[in-house]
Amino acid sequence: MSDKKATLGLEGKEAIDLPIYSGTLGPDVVDVGALTAQGLFTYDPGFVSTASCESKITFIDGGKGILLHAGYPIDQLAEKSDFLEVCWLLWNGELPAEEEKEAFVQRVTKHTMVHDQMNNFFQGFRRDAHPMAIMCGVVGALSAFYHDSLDITNEKARDISAVRLIAKMPTLAAMAYKYSIGEPFVYPRNELGYAENFLHMMFSTPCEDYKVSPTLAKAMDTIFLLHADHEQNASTSTVRLAGSTGSNPFGCISAGITALWGPSHGGANEAVLDMLAEIGDVSRIDEFVAKAKDKNDPFRLMGFGHRVYKNFDPRAKVMKEKADEVLGELGLTNDPLLAIAKRLEQIALEDEYFIEKKLYPNVDFYSGIILKAMGIPTSMFTVIFAVGRTPGWIAHWNEMISNPYKIGRPRQLYTGPTQRDFPSSEDQG
């Protein structure tokens, strides 16, 4: 922390000094705690200018399009690391030594199965239930099976809960998919890698094994990795707020899944594909760009814009390279949706409106094109985002619980009726 301060002049009152703290990177912050004693609150709907916590996990420079996990740039991690190694990095703040990584991979592998009674939960859902609705339910339900590790003050309980969540999310995700198509659940295989195992559980059947292509397994692993964490985004902030009440980690992650589902957040990858399909042809792009620019039209170009990035989302750059690689491997380089996406990106990046509002493609713009090419249905796209984001969610939850914290309880600007008495029977006539 620093000895810098901001002085706030208050009409008719003594000016007050507010401490300013500096981080290792990013803007300074003003500690406004002293305002309450002055009978004042800050007012910042959407928390556009609010730092909700101190964190060491991830840093984003939105102006430069930089994303660091414990200081490592996302493009270097995507090229040189893998998803489980990034899970370790987010939790521990350092890359694992070789033997640490091997032991961690083994631990996760041994926890990929879910309690067989979990299968019964699925039977209660309609077959056409959205997989995210199923995930909200079954992930929260994990807390009904792990009474041995719900004591959040116990570091070992927090650690095993994190391993169980990272390990079981792909299994539950694949179960949600299999349930929706009426195929039997496929058990994880311990000899397979994390992303390979997920694709196996998604596409194998009891009648024949699905041979996972190494290119698709690597692409899937990279997609998980690119989604792993992103500072205090809406779903991570939801996990922190839920966790601040002392709630168990499984319930907190379920809350995060619910927040992620919205089309303004993780639901955007599904919405991008729906939008590209609605555009249908490159010739109709101008019509949709005009709608996106029309203030009276609620339509937005899904996959564009970001609260923090006012430059290219570095994840979108890697995702775009992966899209070319996967579609090339699958012989789909002429995929009409990819052609529409690339043309849309080009137009949007040249259009005055998008330049002025600094609207660039974000992580969701290309991910759906890769997932669709891999045979994954659009309804599963946000589920895959949730699998990838789980290590980030649980790392932030653990960072909060491992340090002194307070229950999150914002105040408000009240503009409702002032106090009044309940009408007497006479008044009521």
Judged by beta carbon, residue 302 or residue 338, the one nearer ligand SDX is 302
What is d(CA 83, CA 98) in angstroms, rounded to the nearest whole number? Answer: 15
Q: Among this protein's residues, is 265 annotated catalytic?
A: yes
Asked if 364 touches ligand SDX (CB under 6 A), the answer is yes
Contact indicator for 150, 143 with CB cutoff of 8 Å: yes
| Rounded least distance, CB 115 to ligand SDX, Å | 30
Q: Among this protein's residues, is 230 annotated catalytic?
A: no
| Rounded least distance, CB 264 to ligand SDX, Å | 4
Judged by beta carbon, residue 196 or residue 364, the one nearer ligand SDX is 364
| Rounded least distance, CB 47 to ligand SDX, Å | 10
Per-residue mark of binding to ligand SDX, 149-168 (x: CB under 6 A): --------------------
Asked if 90 touches ligand SDX (CB under 6 A), the answer is no
What is d(CA 7, CA 26) in angstroms, rounded to the nearest whole number? Answer: 21
Total residues at interface with ligand SDX (CB under 6 A): 21
How many whole angstroms from its chain centre is CA 138? 18
What is d(CA 93, CA 2) in angstroms, rounded to the nearest whole number? Answer: 24
| Rounded least distance, CB 21 to ligand SDX, Å | 22
Site for ligand SDX in 290-319 (CB under 6 A): 292, 300-308
Identify the active-site residue in 130, 306, 313, 396.
306
How many whole angstroms from its chain centre is CA 202? 21
How many whole angstroms from its chain centre is CA 182? 28
Q: DSSP for 262-276? A: STTTTTHHHHHHHHH
**Both structure tokens of 273:** 């594909």
Asked if 363 touches ligand SDX (CB under 6 A), the answer is yes
Per-residue mark of binding to ligand SDX, 184-223 (x: CB under 6 A): ----------------------------------------
Question: Quick count: other Cβ atoms within 10 Å of Cβ 189?
Answer: 14
What is d(CA 380, CA 243) in angstroms, rounded to the nearest whole number? Answer: 26
- Which element (helix H / strand E) includes 320? helix 314-329
Asked if 359 touches ligand SDX (CB under 6 A), the answer is yes
Nearest to 112 by CA among 174, 191, 170: 170
| Rounded least distance, CB 57 to ligand SDX, Å | 13
Nearest to 399 by CA among 233, 232, 213: 232
Asked if 268 touches ligand SDX (CB under 6 A), the answer is yes
Site for ligand SDX in 245-264 (CB under 6 A): 264
Contact indicator for 197, 212 with CB cutoff of 8 Å: no
Asked if 230 touches ligand SDX (CB under 6 A), the answer is yes
Q: Among this protein's residues, is 427 annotated catalytic?
A: no
In the set 233, 238, 247, 254, which binds ligand SDX (CB under 6 A)? 233
Q: Pinpoint the alpha helices (H) of 39-154.
A: 74-80, 83-92, 98-109, 118-123, 131-141
Identify the active-site residue in 200, 221, 364, 396.
364
In the set 265, 310, 342, 343, which binds ligand SDX (CB under 6 A)? 265
What is d(CA 184, CA 175) in angstroms, rounded to the nearest whole number? Answer: 8
Judged by beta carbon, residue 225 or residue 359, the one nearer ligand SDX is 359
**What's the full length of the chain, in residues?**
429
| Rounded least distance, CB 89 to ligand SDX, Å | 17
Catalytic residues: 265, 306, 364
Residues at the site binding ligand SDX, with contacts judged by CB under 6 A:
230, 233, 264-266, 268, 292, 300-308, 357, 359, 362-364
